[in-house]
Structure 1
Amino acid sequence: MTDLQLPRSATLLLVDDEENILKSLRRLLRQEPYEILLANGGEQALQLLSQHPVDLVISDARMPGMDGATLLAEVQRRWPGCQRILLTGHADIATTIKAINQGRIYRYISKPWDDDELRLIIQQALAFQHSERERERLERLTREQNQHLQDLNATLEQRVKSRTAELQQTADMLDMAYEELKRSYVTATEVFSSLVTQRIPRNKQSNAQVIALVRAYAEQYSLGEALSRDLTMAAALYNVGKLTWNDTLLVSPADLLYKNERERYRQYPALGESLLMSLEPLQDAARLIRHHQERWDGGGFPDRLKGKDIPFGARLIKLAVDFIELQCGLVLERRLSRDDALLLIQKYSGKLYDPQLCEQFIKLCTELAPDLVLADPSILVLDTRRLEPGMTLARNLNAENGTLLLNEGKQLSRPLINKLIAFEESEGARYTLFVRQPAEAGATPQEAAR
């Protein structure tokens, strides 16, 4: 669970006409960083509220005299910033509705309560209260600053004009920093993906190839930066939901799984989504991961979506994943060749795959070189000793074990090139890099490759 932002201390008022309930609640919360006030009825509670600043009131629903709903409604009217929770041991719908409508309570909890759940609800209520107070503080600050700016505009208009260029430059720098942050998030997912693949034999590692495929499609069909970024992150982490599997299940073809294993297999897209949803920049990618095993005819999982109800990115990820995993032996018992995999995908167009997207995908794969880089005259294929400072990577560079060494877009420097050469010698390997010549160099790609 994400850490809750809580104030350093909080004051809780517990209201119940039963002494043993109050004692039980105080005992439950004695290890928490709260100041506890107790009241045996509504009138005493209101008196305490008028004497002490209280952050949260927990009141029983049924009490003699003033019931809990009436008390919380009065608290809402007089101290609207105080959070309110209704505690009830009765199936009293009318009281609960009154508490919700008039007292605008945060939650209601049934007796007997679960201790851990009650503590968590209190933490959540206080965290919500803290965030609301912070929002109100920021709104007040914004209003004050806006008023200050209006005053400045009335008296110092010329000064504001003189700073316009400087402010614009700062905004541009912030935009550049934000774009770099988003690119860094993509790189981070690919690094994590390369770590995940260490559990998988090299001949069954699929993520890097799936990433290359969706990037090639995105570039060929101009999908736009935001969707391309989400596709790349989804391709990097589409199988993160398999991390809890044992090594045998991890490399078993899907068609050979037994009933229990098959049921576990069908859960991995939803599990992958749940693991990533707490990370806001990954939420759209997580949605693509959830639905990348849906089928065009509605026979997929986990939600049996059909046709264009399946997100476009998820349809594309499925094509790329199936194409690569068929060749890795992760779908059928035997590995398929590249051509056989394309023929099988074409056979199931309109059943498993979006027909129009399938046609574009097959055309793309047919025209692609085996290395999955489009025939782009600006891309050079060089070994490390022919690299020059200023060149930019056009494709991720992975070590032989699948670890990400350098990410796409990295500009090469002489020290970095020397490190690559030294790394090759230490590993006894040879690497081929896909690079773009710097535009200002003046040499054509053909001249640079000679």
Structure 2
Amino acid sequence: MEEQLNDGLERKSTVLLVDDEESILNSLRRLLRSQPYEILLADSGEKALEILAQRPVDVVMSDARMPGMDGATLLAHVHQRYPSTLRILLTGYADMTLIAKAINEGQIHRYLSKPWNDDEMLVTLRQALAHHHSEDERQRLQALAREQNEQLRSLNATLEKRVAARTAELQQTADMLDLAYEELKRSYVTGTEVFSLLANLRLPKAKQTNRQIIELIRVYCKTHGLSETDSRDMTMAAALYNIGKLSWTDGMMTAPADLLRHTERDLYRAYPKQSESLLMTLEPMKDAARIILHHQERWDGSGFPDHLRGEAIPLGARWLKLAVDFIELQRGLILERQMNSAEALLFIRKYAGRLYDPDLVEDFVKVCADFLSDVSLSDPTVVVLGTRELAAGMVLVRNLNADNGMLLLNAGKVLSTALVDKLIAFEAMEAGKYSVFVRVPEPAPGHEQAAGLA
């Protein structure tokens, strides 16, 4: 039998033969000479223990009866000190006491009788060494498995920490992206308002509509508690509902719809689709674009572009049509005669169930009442100030527009000293006078009392 060493070389299995009779040792050595074993000889138990203390031995085969230390005692010592070394008892007597001692204390692998059978002796040694090597391999594999399991546990612990850290990092990145995306969507609202007011510069001031429609839709969103997303979509739709009209001639843009010629009327009916087409490529504008597409549909199905009827028309589009018609009737963009706000509301009531959703009309009238009365002024914290009365920390409650209609600051903006200085300079450059609707921040606790004592 052969064993692989760690350095890749091979060594023979080592067999230690112990007997006090030299002739027996010589006979065993001759028998095993042709075998691939390294043979060691000892003529006493004491000598055998000395050899074992100096080098590893795979199998110890000892005579049972020897002077001094008998075989059973020797094998018991071997079992205690070198448990991996296999032990075989060789006895010439049917001495059950020694055999029992060897089995119980020495836990021998086998015992053989004298005189032995050579073939049986060789088979016994081969089996013993095979068992020894398989046991060594089992222990080696167990140790390797324990080591690898420990490495795996350590790796798992490290991996869990790395995964947790990476997950936290990814979550933080995702949160930052969400915030950035929300900020981007809010920026889209401001951007659409700026663009719509720039587009309105093609029209005389008396014909401009977008700013009033935006404010009216904002009042609707606020009074109905719409979500931020729905409010954003409605506001963007109000800002850009007529972007498809920019390809029209100046004369067509200012003419009442009921006076348009046949060819112009076809172009007029195409503007909602044209507006939607311009906006659909912008992901944050898709829902607003759908509202714009259908804002000229009529409750009875006679509208355009798709002749939708009743509740098949998106709710946002039904509300936008009410707001658009209310303002455009007052600007003379629908009928030749310009109406005042009360007349426009009477017109809308008259055509409820034909042009407009009858369930929305009275609600719309209430929203218009809030819009026209400017409920923000009923808030004691809201005041109207000139630019030189403004102070840092005040918050705009209305969009601030220049006299030419350009949006300067959007509602919700917190004023800073630098912004106030810019407004004063811009006002002087325009030779105008701005009325700024702001909410004055409440004084800090104890401030009023301290001021009174002073």
TM-score by length of 1: 0.61
What is the CA-CA distance between 1:356 and the residue it aligns to? Answer: 1.9
Q: Which moved more, 1:427-436 or 1:301-310?
A: 427-436
In the other structure, the counterpart of 1:329 is 332
Instruction: Kindly state the Cα deviation for residue 168 of structure 1 after the two structures are TM-superposed.
Output: 5.4
> 1:154-169 counterparts in 2 under 5 A?
154-158=157-161
Return the alpha-carbon distance in structure 2 between the equivalents of residues 271 and 152 of structure 1. Answer: 61
Instruction: Work out whether 1:429 is the aligned partner of 2:432.
Output: yes
In 2, are the aligned partners of 1:239 and 1:268 still within 8 Å (CA)? yes
Residues 204, 162 of structure 1: alpha-carbon distance in 2 compared, 3 angstrom cutoff: same
1:256 has 2:290 as partner: no
Q: Who is 2:179 aligned against? A: 176
Q: Which aligned pairs between 1:210-249 and structure 2 lie closer than 5 A?
A: 210-249=213-252
> CA 1:154–1:393 in 2, change beyond 3 Å: closer, same or farther?
same
> Does residue 267 in structure 1 map to residue 270 in structure 2?
yes
Contact 1:369 1:375 in 2 (8 A): no
Q: Summarize the Cα distance change of 1:302–1:440 in structure 2 as closer, same or farther, 3 Å threshold.
A: farther
- Higher CA-based Rg: 2
Which of 366, 386, 396 does residue 369 from structure 2 map onto?
366
Question: How far 1:171 moved relative to its partner?
Answer: 4.3
Go from structure 1 to structure 2 and tell me whether the alpha carbon gap of 1:277 and 1:203 turns closer, same or farther (over 3 Å shift).
same
Query: Is residue 219–residue 370 contact of structure 2 (8 Å, CA) maintained in 1?
Result: no
How far apart in 2 are the matches of 1:152 and 1:197? 66
Aligned match of 1:307 = 310
The amino acid across from 1:202 in the alignment is: K
Instruction: State, as a whole percentage, how many aligned pairs show the same letter.
Output: 61
SS of equivalent residue, structure 1 residue 434: strand
Q: Contact (CA 8 Å) 1:200, 1:251: kept in 2 or not?
A: yes
1:413 is aligned to 416
State whether structure 2 residue 342 is matched by structure 1 residue 339: yes
The alignment partner of 1:174 has SS state of helix
Checking the alignment, whether the CA contact within 8 Å between 2:381 and 2:441 is kept in structure 1 is: no
Instruction: For 1:268 and 1:169, locate their aligned partners in 2 and report how far apart those are by CA, in whole Å.
Output: 44
Q: Is residue 194–residue 403 contact of structure 1 (8 Å, CA) maintained in 2? A: yes
Give the equivalent residue in structure 2 for 1:356: 359
- Unpaired runs of 5+ residues, structure 2, are 1-153
**Aligned-pair CA distance for 1:313:** 0.7
Q: In structure 2, how many angstroms separate the alpha carbons of the residues matched to 1:200 and 1:373?
A: 29
Letter paired with 1:219: K
AA aligned to 2:224 is: Y
Distance 1:176 1:258, change over 3 A: same
What is the aligned counterpart of 1:194 among 194, 197, 219? 197
Q: 1:199 to 1:152 in 2, by over 3 A?
A: farther
Alignment check: 8 A CA contact 1:216 1:372 kept = no
In the aligned structure 1, how far is the partner of 2:384 from the partner of 2:169?
42
Paired with 2:384 and 2:163, the residues of 1 have a C-alpha distance of 52
Secondary structure at 1:330 match in 2: coil
Mapped to 1, the partners of 2:375 and 2:405 lie a distance apart of 16
C-alpha displacement at 1:166, in angstroms? Answer: 6.6
Deviation at 1:314, TM superposition (A): 0.5
| Secondary structure of residue in 2 paired with 1:389 | coil
For the 8 Å contact 1:294–1:310, the answer to whether it is kept is yes
Question: Structure 2 CA distance, aligned partners of 1:173 and 1:377?
Answer: 37
Question: Structure 1 residues 319, 377: closer, same or farther in 2, change over 3 A?
Answer: farther
Q: Which residue pairs with 1:135 in the alignment? A: none
In structure 2, the CA distance between the partners of 1:392 and 1:165, relative to structure 1 (3 Å rule), is farther
Match of 1:381 in 2: 384
For 1:56-113, what per-residue CA distance to the aligned partner results, in whole angstroms no more than 9, with x for missing partners?
Answer: xxxxxxxxxxxxxxxxxxxxxxxxxxxxxxxxxxxxxxxxxxxxxxxxxxxxxxxxxx
Deviations 1:16-43 (A, max 9, x none): xxxxxxxxxxxxxxxxxxxxxxxxxxxx
2:234, 2:282 → 1: CA distance?
Answer: 16
SS of equivalent residue, structure 1 residue 405: strand
For 1:435, what is the secondary structure of its paired residue? strand
Offset, 1:175: 2.7
Q: 1:253 to 1:389 in 2, by over 3 A?
A: same
2:113 corresponds in structure 1 to none
Q: CA deviation at 1:178?
A: 1.8
Distance 1:373 1:261 in 2: 41
Contact between 2:294 and 2:317, CA under 8 Å: does it hold in 1?
yes
Asked if 1 retains the 8 angstrom alpha-carbon contact of 2:386 and 2:434, the reply is yes
| Superposed displacement of residue 177, structure 1 | 1.9
State the 1:383 CA deviation. 2.2
SS, match of residue 351 in structure 1:
coil
Determine helix, strand or coil for the equivalent of 2:414: coil
Is the Cα–Cα contact under 8 Å of residues 216 and 374 in structure 1 kept in the other structure?
no
1:164-213 alpha-carbon deviations (Å, 9 max, x no partner): 77765554433322211111011111111111111111110000100000
Change (3 A) 1:254 1:373: farther
How many Å separate the matches in 2 of 1:396 and 1:153? Answer: 58
Offset of residue 372 of structure 1? 7.5
Q: Provide closer, same or farther for how the CA distance between residues 180 and 437 of structure 1 changes in structure 2, counting only shifts above 3 A.
A: farther
Match of 1:276 in 2: 279
TM-score under structure 2 normalisation?
0.61
SS at match of 1:203: helix
> Matched residues in 2 for 1:380 and 1:152: separation?
66
In structure 2, C-alpha distance between the alignment counterparts of 1:357 and 1:153, rounded to whole Å: 62
CA distance in 1, matches of 2:346, 2:420: 41
Tell me which moved more, 254-263 or 233-242.
Answer: 254-263
